[in-house]
Amino acid sequence: MNKKRISEGYLYILPWIIGFLVFGAFPLGTSLYYSFTNFSMFNRPKFVGFANYVQLLTKDREVWPSMWVTFKYVMMAVPMKLISALFFAMLLNRKIKFINVFTTIYYLPSILGASVSISILWRFMFSLHGLVNNILSKIHFQPIPFLEDPRYALFTLTLLVVWSFGSSMVIFLAGLKQIPRELYEAARVDGSSRVREFFSITLPMLSPSIFFNLIMQLINSFQSFTGAWVITHGGPVKSTYLFMMKLYDEAFGNFKMGYASALSWFLFVFIFIGTFLLFKKSNKFVYYQE
Mean pLDDT along residues 203-216: 94
Domain ranges of the chain: 52-285
Residue 100: predicted pLDDT = 76
Rounded Cα distance between 108 and 112, Å, is 7
Residue 160: predicted pLDDT = 86
> Among residues of the chain, what percentage have pLDDT more than 70?
98
pLDDT in tens, 13-50: 999 999 999 999 999 999 999 999 999 888 889 999 99
Rounded Cα distance between 135 and 126, Å, is 11
**What sign does the CA torsion over 116, 169, 239, 141 have?**
positive
pTM exceeds 0.95 for this model: no
Helix-then-strand count for the chain, H and E: 15, 2
Nearest to 215 by CA among 286, 121, 137: 286
Nearest to 220 by CA among 108, 116, 78: 78
Compute the CA torsion angle 113, 209, 216, 283 (nearest 10 deg): 160
Q: Residue 47's CB: how many other CB atoms inside 10 A?
A: 11
1 pLDDT tier (thresholds 50, 70, 90) = low
Q: What share of the chain is helix, strand, coil (3-state, %, to 5)?
A: 75, 0, 25
What is the fold of 52-285?
MetI-like fold (1.10.3720)
Q: Within 13 A of 43's CA, how many CA atoms are on the CB side?
A: 10
